[in-house]
Amino acid sequence: MEKTWRWFGKKDKITLSMLRQIGVEGIVTALHDVPLGEVWTREAIRDMREYIEDAGLRWSVVESLPVTEAIKYGGAERDRQIEVYRQSLRNLAAEGIHTVCYNFMPVLDWARTDLLHPNDDGSSNLFFSYAEFAYFDIYILKRSDARKEWATFRFPEGVGQDRDLMAEVDALRQEMTPEREHSLVENIVIKTQGFVSGNFREDDEAPLEKFRAFLHLYEGIDKIRLRSNMKYFLEAIMPVCDECDINMCVHPDDPPIEILGLPRIVRTAEDIRWFLNAVPNKHNGLTFCAGSLSAGAYNDVVAMAREFAQRTHFVHLRSCHIFPNGDFTEASHLGGRADLIELCKIFESEERNLPFRVDHGRTMLGDETRGYNAGYSFLGRMYAMAQMQGVLAVLSHEKEK
């Protein structure tokens, strides 16, 4: 597999020359400064590509070419936005970039409640607490159906069965402070979304109002409608992908649960089977994010990798640990539910030099003081990358014997 790294552009504090030193071969990035819904021009793509190549690396994967909300909820602007998307794809291919990651999650790109959850060893991890997320939804966002929905929330089989979520939310209400509420907004809306999704910016003054306005767009959009909008989008872009040999790879929903009354359609093996079959074109593929998938207790990640390897064009190596109460944290890259060693075997045996990146990483040894994007530490990710390089080295050594 090709060793890649998510790099956030020229302003990233982690420079390309640092990445050369740790064995990175390819870069995963996006034109983060282009506003949502505008064409990525050939000139801007070329400028980024050359900058990366001048550092002795290659631009391997786009993560992400964002799919705007109008495409997801099927608004009046949809066809115009899809045309913009098609043009950006043509421009990327003309500059030699052929792998494009995107997601089809309404409003929120990914969600965590704690970005620096302490581990026993002094490092910290990303963490998701159902009670805190429900608290955010009910008391901070104040979504009208929130309490009703959380009161009937069903945890997947095997976790959280005895949990009284409402009692926990009420207890949180008693002990909540303005600072803690503020950090929930920061964690759920600002620090996790600002740098990946054009919907929110780090300096948004009224993020909650904006959030509510986005949610409003999805009133009446259920799973069936969202699926048909995804199919519509894929069918519209596949001719360009065929012509330009672009591999599209959708990122699974993170976490793979339905939240905020929004449908989520890339959560389970059945979902993945659905969109692959709905548009049966080899260019319609998957970003196999082992981390997102392993946060769903119902997902057998290894079985899914076996089933979907052929339609996987990009791999995110990361593994989650689910606690008995259903909350989850990001485990070591050599532990957790995802079994990354087995996944490396499966994806290596594809013999397509599939690009992979370590996704997220612990925050450790001073990472927390450097102002990195949430989940995208330097030392923590470097450590995980070294672990994965070791695994891959063993596999290739065994193969040569």
Residues that bind ligand DNO (CB under 6 A): 63-64, 101-103, 109-110, 196, 251, 359, 375
- Least Å from the CB of residue 182 to ligand DNO: 22
- Residue bearing tokens 């330009």: 244
Nearer to ligand DNO, 110 or 200 (CB): 110
- Least Å from the CB of residue 252 to ligand DNO: 8
User: Is residue 237 within 8 Å of residue 90, measured between CB atoms?
Assistant: no
User: Is residue 207 within 8 Å of residue 132, measured between CB atoms?
Assistant: no
The question of whether 360 is a catalytic residue gets the answer yes
The question of whether 216 is a catalytic residue gets the answer no
Distance of CA 34 to CAs 31, 37, 38, 48, 51, Å? 6, 8, 7, 12, 17
At residue 146, what are phi and psi to the nearest 5 degrees? -60, -50
List 359, 367, 372, 383, catalytic entry: 359
Nearer to ligand DNO, 195 or 218 (CB): 195
- Least Å from the CB of residue 144 to ligand DNO: 27
Region label for 27, one of left (φ > 0), alpha (ψ between -120 and 50) or beta (otherwise): beta
Nearer to ligand DNO, 134 or 317 (CB): 317
CA-nearest of 74, 94, 6, 83 to 38 is 83
Alpha helices by DSSP H, listed for 40-164, are: 42-54, 69-73, 78-94, 130-135, 146-151
List 101, 109, 249, 251, catalytic entry: 251
The question of whether 289 is a catalytic residue gets the answer yes
Nearer to ligand DNO, 147 or 321 (CB): 321
> How far is it, in rounded angstroms, from Cα 218 to Cα 171?
31
The question of whether 251 is a catalytic residue gets the answer yes
The question of whether 344 is a catalytic residue gets the answer no
User: What amino acid occupies position 343?
Assistant: L
What is the torsion angle, in degrees rounded to the nearest 10, for the CA atoms of residue 352, residue 355, residue 361 and residue 364? 100
The question of whether 244 is a catalytic residue gets the answer no
Tokens of 165: 């979520």
Nearer to ligand DNO, 14 or 165 (CB): 14
For residue 125, the cross-strand partners are: 117
- Least Å from the CB of residue 397 to ligand DNO: 30
- Least Å from the CB of residue 133 to ligand DNO: 16
| Residues carrying an active site annotation | 251, 289, 316, 359-360, 376
